[in-house]
Amino acid sequence: MATVSLGFLSANSRGHSTHYDDFLRLVPEEADVQIIPLNLWQNSLYDLAGKTREHIARTTALVAEHGWDGIALMGAPMQVQNPEHVEQLRSLLNIPATTALESGAAAVKAFGASRILLLTPFDDGLNAMLREFLTGQGLNVTVPQTDRTDTSREDVTSTERKSADEVYRLAIDAFEQASDVDAVYFQGAPLNPLLTVERLEADLGVPVVASNPAMFWHITSLLGHRLPSSADGCGRLLREWPERA
């Protein structure tokens, strides 16, 4: 029987994808993780603006149905476009809830880092919102410019097609152009670093945090559990399981 039961709730319309499979492979058997889509956007991530009521209604219904110990709210664009959403939701829950951005910031800080290279599949407008949030968490954020003004379904699908080698090269190039960075943070699972995290950590010499593993580490830690992974390629966060700062 699993030690902890967790719901990972995605704002998009897909509960199964290669990057989700790559994440679930890293989760130890003591944890039961269910990834469930909330179907809140179809064409553009900007469609999530104003979706607080729908998100809360679907989330609270799923929590009541599944009886999870805690939940993780996947999808930074939902949080940054609806600033009051998370606290409104928490006021209706009797279990812990974390978010992608809260988890990523906490993971970076757990390594004693504060100057991060942020890598995402998003456009410049969304990235500016993410930077503002993370700056508010006490981090110094460098994020490459994309020269895009939207993040469409096609953009997300195109990002998902990137191979592990392409993601590795993207991170290496961005790191070389950044200055004084002590951690790399991948936010947005379609830009999937999970097959190359340990290679990047070895070559860059800094911790590499990815959003889904960070959420697993954070919500499990909030529940008082320590469940490090022994899976190949899991990276420092899941292998070392640092204490929250």
- Mean pLDDT, the chain cut into blocks of 10 residues (245 residues total): 92 72 96 96 91 98 98 96 97 98 99 98 95 98 91 78 94 95 95 96 98 98 98 98 96
- pLDDT value for 155: 76
Tokens 């529940």: give the residue.
223
pLDDT at residue number 14: 61
What's the CA gap between 119 and 184, in Å, rounded? 8
Cβ–Cβ < 8 Å for 34, 6: yes
CA-based nearest residue to 181, from 196, 167, 200, 194: 200
* All structural domains of the chain: 4-99+212-235 (3.40.50.12500), 103-210 (3.40.50.12500)
Q: In whole angstroms, what is the distance from residue 80 CA to residue 83 CA? A: 6
Both tokens of 126, joined, read 């969304």
The reported pLDDT for the residue numbered 205 is: 98
Contact 31, 220 (CB under 8 A): yes
Q: What is the per-residue pLDDT for 2?
A: 81
Give the model's pLDDT for residue 201.
Answer: 99
Structure tokens at 13: 């319309």
Query: Which pair of tokens denotes residue 47?
Result: 């469609």
Secondary structure element (H or E) that encloses residue 10, with its range? strand 4-10
3 state SS of 49? coil
Helix (H) / strand (E) element for 199: namely helix 197-204
Tell me the C-alpha distance between 238 and 156, whole Å. Answer: 26
Backbone angles phi, psi at 75, to 5 degrees: 105, 90
Q: pLDDT value at position 53?
A: 97
